[in-house]
């Protein structure tokens, strides 16, 4: 693939036109000695340079792909930005000229660029390759690769550079595990090997943000803490989804505790970016669902954890607690909605969809994805002050883009506990089961991908909704516990029906591998293509395929599309299968969803390769 690098810097004012594209700020980097910020404007394919003194974008730098993260060399000469998707790259930009001087090829969906300036090593998370690369940013050489768990999306380097903590976006494995939760991978940077893995509390999903404390003692991780084991009969007191911050003790290599960012009767949905003040005494967390910033007194929070009654138990007593929550003390704090009272302020921001943030002195700069704005939060006064700044000309929010904003907006939910995106991040899955009551109680179902939901009726696993439009409106009533304006539902329909499938990482240069080509023939001969038919790989009919159990036994299930199946583990209606291989073997004893019992191990591998390539 030939990369056409767009060179040169274009000087603009804060109101300069960027065409019809939304700005979609996704990352912010503070450069304190210059009193500047770099802001990655995703859809505009630009880096905005923000002058702190004048509070405006003073120039923009074009980049050849959607910028997703930023890092700066120690001297400030070189700016590194991850760009692109399948053919990801790191663009090396000369900050004095604005020219892209080098493209460094990396993996699929590069994010979370993290620089060790002392050793001149740049770390990049390749989200859909499930690995992390160490790169020499001077010559572009790959110095090592570390496989991680699932969708690495955030990273934090300890101050000594010895450990890279990597946050995996979603849980991995089957639902039947003792704890279903995101993991944080600890990479020994000397060897580029995962030396340990820290499992977050049971129900942790949607991990988004991570930062290390300046003293290197702690790593802070933002995520959702889902209460997926109970029927979804209410939302009060965080019955379904709560929103959390986990604190990892670096020396002990385990979760010190997990605290809830919600209040007793008001959720703080979809925690995202995390950053520390320079002295480490204040922690900042953005809430993408409620358009807020949490300002947390770190010493006060740690003191409350230390003094919590559950911490006074002996080690032997604590060890006998609820292990699925990482120990009794973690479970006790993680269930207390008022825990941060007195040590946290919730600050209402000016725009919609806050995600990335940067700290400079007493000010916090929060980029807001959907409005193309930035809120400047001054934490110095006793009463925290906010100021809105436009990052450029933003087209009106309408159609699918407005629908995307509403899909992520928890203000539409009773008490703001969750948004649609809490269970369907990026319109996809949270890798959990939920008992939604639309087909009875006591029979939880795995979260479905929203991709192609509008094109493949009926909706829901048992097909109880005639189409996705009906399901969207029912979701407001029975999951968000709110009434939906028809105009809002129409906008969400437009967003979901416009979702595009991401190419499978199992493809080779965009084409089926040799194994997948063999698997394609087996897909037909084993009878899989009879139901998973056509371009959408579904006949949109219901069948009893022998997998139903409990109160669902004998029920027919809607034939799911196999498009983007690689992204939606675990599998089967109740998430019992961790892999497609298990679907084809262990959980297909009577050949009711494909005649696979007579296939060899190599043929099963080929069939799996084809299915995962869709």
| In the chain, domain spans | 1-16+24-145, 400-497, 514-611
Least confident piece of the model among 9-23, 442-456, 472-486, 534-548: 9-23
Taking residues 73-93, report their average pLDDT.
95
Characterize the bridge pairing of strands 292-297 and 344-348: antiparallel
Q: State the chain's mean pLDDT as an integer.
A: 93
Q: 510: phi > 0 → left, psi -120 to 50 → alpha, else beta; which? A: left
pLDDT score of 456 more than 90: yes
Q: In this structure, how many other beta carbons lie within 10 angstroms of the beta carbon of residue 598? A: 8
Instruction: Please tell me the CATH code under which domain 514-611 is placed.
Output: 1.10.760.10
Residue 321 or 607, more confident: 607
Q: What is the largest CA-CA distance in the chain?
A: 72
Q: 128-142: buried (b, 16+ CB within 10 Å) or exposed (e) per residue?
A: bbbbbbbbebeebee
Supply the pLDDT for residue 312: 62
Residue with tokens 């399901």: 471
List the 46-51 sheet strands across, edge first.
Answer: 9-10, 56-62, 46-51, 36-41, 25-31
Peptide bond into 458 cis (omega under 30): yes
pLDDT tens column, 10-50: 222 233 333 468 999 999 999 999 999 999 999 999 999 99
Name the phi and psi angles at 209, rounded to 5: -125, 160
**Per-residue model confidence (pLDDT) at position 382:** 87
The residues facing 359 across adjacent strands are 364
Please report, for the chain, how many H helices and E strands are present, in that order.
Answer: 11, 33
Q: What is the pLDDT of residues 569-594, one digit of tens each?
A: 999 999 999 999 999 999 999 999 99
Two structure tokens written together for 585: 């073997």
Question: 514-611: same fold as 400-497?
Answer: yes
pLDDT at 264 over 60: yes
Residue 455's pLDDT band (boundaries 50, 70, 90)? very high
Q: How far is CA 117 from CA 67, 276, 451, in A?
A: 21, 19, 40
Q: What percent of the chain has pLDDT over 70?
A: 94
Q: Express each pLDDT in 124-160 by its tens digit.
A: 999 999 999 999 999 999 999 999 999 999 999 999 9
Structure tokens of 499?
């979702």
d(CA 76, CA 194): 30
87, 1 in Cβ contact below 8 A? yes
pLDDT above 90: residue 326: no
Classify each residue of 254-284 as buried b or exposed e, where b means 16 or more C-beta atoms within 10 Å of its C-beta.
ebbbbbbbbbeeebbbbbbbbbbbeebebbb
Average pLDDT over residues 96-100: 94
The CATH class, in words, for 400-497 is: mainly alpha
pLDDT at position 328 over 80 = no
Structure tokens at 59: 């120039």
Which segments of 408-475 are extended strands (E)? 433-434, 445-446
> Residue 255: enclosing H or E segment and its boundaries?
strand 254-260
Q: What is the pTM of this model?
A: 0.94
Q: What is the DSSP letter of 129?
A: T
Give the CA angle between residues 174, 179, 180 to the nearest 5°: 50
Decide if pLDDT at 65 tops 60: yes
Residue 311 has pLDDT above 90, yes or no: no
Fold of 1-16+24-145: Methylamine Dehydrogenase; Chain H (2.130.10)
Q: Three-state DSSP class for 87?
A: coil
CB atoms within 10 A of CB 302: 16
Which pLDDT tens digit goes with each residue over 346-398? 999 999 999 999 999 999 999 999 999 999 999 998 899 999 999 999 999 99
The more confident residue out of 273 and 327 is 273
d(CA 188, CA 200): 20
What are the DSSP calls for 283-301, one per residue?
EEEEETTTTEEEEEEHHHH
């Amino acid at each position: 693939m030939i990369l056409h690098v767009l060179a040169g810097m274009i000087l603009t004012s804060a109101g300069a036109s960027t065409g019809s594209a939304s700005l979609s700020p996704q990352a912010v980097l503070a450069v304190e000695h210059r009193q500047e910020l770099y802001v990655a404007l995703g859809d505009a394919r630009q880096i905005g340079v923000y002058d702190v003194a004048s509070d405006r974008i003073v120039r923009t730098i074009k980049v050849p792909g959607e910028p997703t993260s930023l890092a700066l060399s120690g001297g400030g000469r070189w700016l590194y930005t991850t760009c692109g998707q399948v053919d990801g790259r790191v663009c090396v930009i000369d900050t004095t000229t604005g020219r892209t001087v080098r493209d460094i090829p990396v993996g699929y969906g590069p994010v979370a660029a993290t620089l060790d300036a002392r050793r001149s090593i740049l770390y990049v998370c390749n989200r859909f390759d499930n690995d992390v690369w160490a790169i020499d940013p001077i010559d572009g050489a790959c110095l090592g690769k570390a496989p991680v768990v699932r969708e690495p999306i955030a990273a934090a380097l300890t101050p000594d550079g010895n450990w890279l903590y990597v946050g995996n976006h979603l849980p991995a494995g089957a639902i039947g595990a003792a704890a279903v939760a995101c993991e944080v991978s600890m990479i020994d940077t000397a060897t580029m090997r995962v030396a340990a893995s820290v499992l977050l509390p049971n129900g942790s999903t949607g991990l988004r943000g991570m930062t290390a404390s300046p003293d290197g003692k702690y790593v802070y991780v933002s995520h959702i803490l889902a209460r997926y084991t109970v029927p979804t009969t209410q939302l009060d007191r965080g019955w379904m989804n709560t929103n959390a911050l986990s604190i990892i003790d670096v020396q002990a290599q385990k979760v010190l505790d997990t605290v809830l960012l919600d209040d007793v009767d008001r959720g703080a949905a979809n925690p995202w970016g995390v950053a520390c003040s320079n002295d480490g005494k204040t922690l900042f967390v953005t809430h993408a669902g409620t358009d807020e910033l949490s300002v947390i007194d770190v010493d006060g929070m740690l003191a409350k954890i230390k003094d919590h009654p559950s911490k006074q138990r002996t080690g032997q007593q604590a060890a006998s607690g609820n292990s699925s929550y990482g120990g009794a003390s973690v479970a006790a704090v993680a269930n207390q909605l008022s825990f941060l009272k007195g040590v946290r302020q919730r600050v209402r921001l000016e725009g919609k969809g806050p995600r990335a943030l940067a700290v400079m002195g007493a000010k916090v700069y929060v980029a807001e994805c959907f409005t193309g704005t930035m809120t400047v939060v001054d934490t110095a006064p006793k009463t925290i002050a906010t100021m809105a700044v436009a990052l450029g000309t933003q087209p009106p929010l309408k159609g699918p883009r407005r629908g995307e904003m509403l899909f992520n907006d928890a203000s539409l939910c009773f008490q703001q506990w969750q948004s649609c995106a809490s269970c369907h991040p990026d319109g996809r899955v949270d890798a959990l089961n939920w008992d939604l009551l639309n087909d009875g109680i006591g029979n939880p179902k795995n979260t479905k991908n929203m991709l192609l939901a509008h094109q493949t009726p009926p909706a829901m696993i048992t097909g109880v909704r005639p189409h996705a439009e009906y399901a969207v409106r029912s979701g407001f009533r029975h999951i968000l516990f709110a009434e939906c304006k028809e105009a809002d539902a129409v906008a969400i329909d437009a967003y979901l029906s416009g979702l595009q499938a991401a190419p499978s990482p199992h493809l080779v240069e965009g084409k089926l591998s040799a194994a997948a080509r063999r698997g394609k023939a087996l897909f037909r001969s084993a009878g899989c293509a009879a139901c998973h038919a056509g371009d959408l790989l579904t006949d949109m009919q219901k069948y009893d395929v022998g997998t139903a159990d409990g109160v669902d036994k004998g029920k027919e299930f809607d034939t799911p599309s196999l498009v983007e199946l690689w992204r939606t583990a675990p599998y089967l209606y109740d998430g019992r299968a961790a892999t497609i291989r298990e679907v084809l073997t262990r959980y297909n004893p009577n050949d009711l969803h494909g005649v696979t019992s007579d296939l060899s191990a190599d043929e099963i591998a080929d069939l799996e390769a084809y299915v995962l390539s869709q």
